[in-house]
């Protein structure tokens, strides 16, 4: 949790003032009674309202409450915000929050509003029951998304491009066609649009990282 807290606060410190203002608004929104701190009751109510049912957990609240005072301060809430926005999952095997690398079911990730994810130990030991068999780690899933988005964009550019003579075979259009051919051979007619929060969040986080030029891992 300490590592996540540091990443969350690094994001906050590097954010433009407007984003910092929004972060403070987010904190105030959780503080229903306006006493400057977030009680377990306020935390549970906010999680329910926002649809973060998987995070409505007393143990999770206590993990966030780094000073063990029974309430969350601004840094705790920024950590919570980062965890929800980056889609950190609870392991479906052992129930623990997975704070680093995890494995996720590809079918559920692409087609369900509730991804099925596992910590490395549960995945490797087979400590889970699930109807699908194909899992990848979160880094591979993100890279797959990146490639598929790239292919989709190039495919659409290719469709919109005017026809060209064969002398321009080294153009980007022919390169696009090659990439599309590879894609169709390997992933068939996969739906390229993932509309789920987890990946949306991951991409937003990646965007923030790229615009600030800061590596969040180092
Ligand atoms: Zn586990
Ligand atoms: Zn599944």
- Predicted confidence at residue 163, as pLDDT, reads 58
| Least confident residue range of 7-11, 100-104, 168-172 | 168-172
Distance 145 CA to ligand 2 centre (A): 17
Query: Quick check: pTM over 0.85?
Result: no
Q: Which residues pair with 137 in a beta bridge?
A: 103
For residue 53, give the DSSP letter.
Answer: G
Q: How confident is the model at residue 162 (pLDDT cuts 50, 70, 90)?
A: low
- Structure tokens, 192: 């390229």
- Predicted confidence at residue 85, as pLDDT, reads 83
d(CA 206, CA 209) in angstroms, rounded, equals: 5
CATH topology of domain 2-135: Recoverin; domain 1 (1.10.238)
pLDDT digits (tens, 9 = 90+) for 105-160: 999 998 888 899 999 999 999 999 999 999 999 999 888 888 888 888 887 887 77
d(CA 116, CA 196) in angstroms, rounded, equals: 13
Distance 135 CA to ligand 2 centre (A): 8
d(CA 15, CA 13) in angstroms, rounded, equals: 6
- Predicted confidence at residue 164, as pLDDT, reads 54
Distance 130 CA to ligand 2 centre (A): 6
Secondary structure class of 117 (helix, strand, coil): strand
Domain ranges in the chain are: 2-135, 138-194
Distance 150 CA to ligand 2 centre (A): 25
Distance 101 CA to ligand 2 centre (A): 18
What ligand is nearest to the CA atom of residue 99?
Answer: 1
* Contact between 71 and 65 (Cβ < 8 Å): yes
Q: Which residues pair with 135 in a beta bridge?
A: 105
Distance 89 CA to ligand 2 centre (A): 14
- Structure tokens, 179: 């990439």
Distance 116 CA to ligand 1 centre (A): 11
DSSP codes joined into one string, 48-72: HHHT-GGG--HHHHHHH-TT-SSSB
What ligand is nearest to the CA atom of residue 128?
Answer: 1
- Please determine, for residue 213, whether its predicted confidence score (pLDDT) is greater than 80: no
What ligand is nearest to the CA atom of residue 124?
Answer: 1
Percent of residues, the chain, with pLDDT higher than 90:
31
Distance 216 CA to ligand 2 centre (A): 30
Tell me the backbone φ, ψ of residue 69, rounded to 5 degrees.
-100, 5
pLDDT digits (tens, 9 = 90+) for 186-204: 454 444 444 344 444 444 5
Half-sphere exposure of 43 (CA within 13 A, CB side): 26
What ligand is nearest to the CA atom of residue 130?
Answer: 2
Closest by CA to 23, choosing from 89, 82, 65, is 82
Distance 103 CA to ligand 1 centre (A): 10
């Amino acid at each position: 949790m300490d590592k996540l807290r540091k990443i969350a606060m690094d994001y906050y410190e590097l954010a433009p003032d407007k984003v910092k203002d929004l972060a403070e608004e987010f904190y105030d929104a959780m503080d229903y009674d306006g006493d400057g701190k977030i009680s377990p009751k306020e935390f549970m109510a906010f999680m329910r309202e926002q649809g973060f049912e998987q995070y409505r957990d007393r143990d999770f609240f206590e993990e966030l409450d780094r000073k063990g005072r029974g309430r969350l301060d601004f840094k705790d809430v920024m950590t919570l915000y980062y965890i929800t926005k980056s889609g950190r999952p609870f392991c479906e095997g052992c129930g623990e929050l997975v704070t680093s690398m995890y494995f996720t079911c590809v079918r559920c990730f692409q087609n369900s509003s509730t991804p099925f994810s596992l910590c490395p130990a549960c995945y490797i030991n087979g400590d889970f029951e699930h109807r699908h068999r194909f899992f990848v780690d979160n880094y591979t899933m993100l890279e797959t998304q990146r490639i598929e988005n790239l292919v989709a964009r190039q495919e659409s550019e290719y469709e919109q491009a005017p026809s060209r003579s064969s002398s321009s075979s080294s153009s980007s259009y022919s390169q696009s066609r090659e990439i599309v051919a590879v894609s169709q051979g390997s992933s068939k007619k996969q739906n390229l649009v993932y509309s789920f929060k987890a990946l949306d969040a991951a991409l937003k986080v990646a965007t923030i990282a790229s615009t600030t030029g800061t590596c969040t891992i180092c």
